[in-house]
Amino acid sequence: MGRTDTATTPRVRRVAQVAVSAALVGVIVWFVLRQFADLSEVTAVIRDLTPAETAVLVVAAVWNLLTYWFVVVVATPGLRLPQAAVLTQSTTAVSNAVPAGGAVAVGLTYTMLSSWGFSRSRGTLFVVVTGIWNNLVKLGMPVFALAIVALRGERDAGRTTAAVVGLGALVAAVALFALVLRSGTFAARAGVTAGRWASALLRLARRGPVHGWDLAVVKWRSRVVGLVRHRWLALTTSTLVSHLSLYLVLLVALRVTGVPDSAVGWAEVLAVFAFARLVTAIPITPGGVGVVELALIAGLTGAGGDDARVVAAVLLHRLLTFVLPICVGALTYLYWRRNRSWRDSAPPLSDSGTVVRP
């Protein structure tokens, strides 16, 4: 009886999480539609799209899917592009569709890489490096966007303050990362400091302190430094292209639904997009669904976009960048489960992080 209850509890908790997330998403989406536009007007805007406009939108969406594959290839020496495609789409689908999907996606990442012969340490290297680069770009984009808006003559105190604070945070993050990579001693000190902060926070929850973070950071540094030294430019470029491609889908959706540059300029769209992306750092719902839509619609209509056209553009954008990857990811996951012919040993790495060829 006890075993059955123990096995059932996680299942019940998972169902409850899904139900709460679905209810929250429904409330948010309903509020957005009722607050900003009439559903019939939004539908009419989408129906008015020409075949050419639809084709341009689809091309932008497909390009957005492709771009992150190259990030994965760069961050995982020895991984082939088809494997990167399957890994990217499958883990993205899990991350977007499941409550606490980010943690589940990390587990799936390890499982897939292991099936192709990659060790757990190389899986950790991939997760850590891509996480750092994605977060640095995500943090830097609002600063970049606000700087462009200011240079275009649209200055105000709030935007200037946000840009300065964001720039300071970005510089501090990059400097800290560079110092950790440069010095093993500094890495150990950073680990000790981080461990103290974590222990202080855990103490508030009446949980025990953490130990060994200095050794963990030093070990992490030894794995990362070789890859970053040889591939930092490719990592930075491919990650930037991937994030900007996501923005491109939103910009194209706005233009084809009739929101002109004179109403909401490309720089303002970038600023709204960048700040909405920061919302996804807080896992309120899977993939930020509902919350991201609200942030985008509020920002774009506030910038001068027509309500119905903005809502139509945002819904198209999320359909192509949130729903489409889930559908594609379901197919790639099934393909990975069925196809065992490519499950071979991964090539070894040198100390510099490059592939050793026989």
What string of pLDDT tens digits covers the 358 residues of the chain? Answer: 555 555 556 666 656 656 666 666 666 666 666 677 778 888 899 999 999 999 999 999 999 999 999 999 999 998 999 999 999 999 999 988 877 678 889 899 999 999 998 888 888 889 888 988 998 888 888 888 888 877 776 656 666 676 677 677 778 877 877 887 777 787 788 778 877 777 777 677 667 676 777 777 777 777 778 788 888 899 999 999 999 999 999 999 999 999 999 999 998 999 899 988 887 776 667 777 778 888 899 899 988 888 899 999 999 999 999 989 999 999 999 999 988 777 665 665 554 455 555 5
Distance CA 72, CA 50 (A): 35
Give 189-196's long-range contacts (Cβ < 8 A, gap of 24+).
189/214, 190/217, 191/215, 191/216, 191/217, 191/218
Report if residue 112 sits inside a domain: yes
Distance CA 24, CA 129 (A): 32
- The pLDDT assigned to 160 comes to 66
- The pLDDT assigned to 87 comes to 96
- The pLDDT assigned to 180 comes to 77
Report if residue 355 sits inside a domain: no
Distance CA 251, CA 263 (A): 13
Task: Pull the structure tokens for residue 282.
Answer: 């807080």
- The pLDDT assigned to 51 comes to 96
pTM: 0.82
| Count of the separate structural domains present in the chain | 1
Report if residue 353 sits inside a domain: no
Instruction: Looking at the chain, list the stretches that DSSP marks H as alpha helix, in order from N- to C-terminal side.
Output: 2-36, 39-47, 51-75, 81-97, 101-115, 120-151, 157-182, 184-204, 213-256, 266-279, 291-302, 307-318, 324-338
Distance CA 259, CA 281 (A): 28
Q: Which domain holds residue 324?
A: 26-338
Query: Which phi-psi region, left, alpha or beta, contains residue 287 (left: φ > 0; alpha: ψ -120 to 50)?
Result: left
Report if residue 346 sits inside a domain: no
- The pLDDT assigned to 138 comes to 87
Q: Given CA atoms 150, 172, 229, 126 in this order, what sign does their dihedral have?
A: negative
CB atoms within 10 A of CB 24: 15
- The pLDDT assigned to 352 comes to 47
Report if residue 157 sits inside a domain: yes
Report if residue 103 sits inside a domain: yes
- The pLDDT assigned to 222 comes to 72
Report if residue 345 sits inside a domain: no
Report if residue 214 sits inside a domain: yes
Give 171-178's long-range contacts (Cβ < 8 A, gap of 24+).
173/136, 173/139, 174/136, 177/132, 177/136
Convert 78-98 to b/e letters by CB count within 10 Å (16 or more is b).
bbeeebbbbbbbbbbbbbbbb
